[in-house]
Amino acid sequence: MEIHEVRAMLPGVFYRKPAPSDPNYKEEGDAVSKGDVIGLIEVMKSFHEVISDADGTIRAFKVENEDAIMPGQVLAEIEG
């Protein structure tokens, strides 16, 4: 089993869902494929998708919804 880390490419605020009233993109334990959206980063009022760059299962999110994040910070771990 290999652990793959999804890291933030931008500074800003991390969101796990597309809008406050929507469900999360992915839950821990969900299967993901390369290219799946797993979250959003808001930087200076513009939104950018966080894409999984590995196939596998989400082992854990390392930041909470609406947490402030810095570039390079680990957002999620994918087990594949």
Instruction: Name the residues that contact another protein, by CB under 8 A.
Output: 10-13, 21, 42-46, 66, 68
Q: Is 66 exposed, middle or buried, given 0-12, 13-18 or 19+ CB atoms closer than 10 A?
A: exposed
Closer residue to another protein, CB minimum distance, 4 or 48: 48
**Minimum gap (Å) between residue 11 Cβ and another protein:** 4
**Minimum gap (Å) between residue 29 Cβ and another protein:** 28
Residue 47 tokens read as 């939104």
Report yes or no: 14 and 67 within 8 Å, Cβ to Cβ. yes
Q: Is 17 exposed, middle or buried, given 0-12, 13-18 or 19+ CB atoms closer than 10 A?
A: middle
**Minimum gap (Å) between residue 45 Cβ and another protein:** 5
Closer residue to another protein, CB minimum distance, 10 or 54: 10
Closer residue to another protein, CB minimum distance, 1 or 44: 44
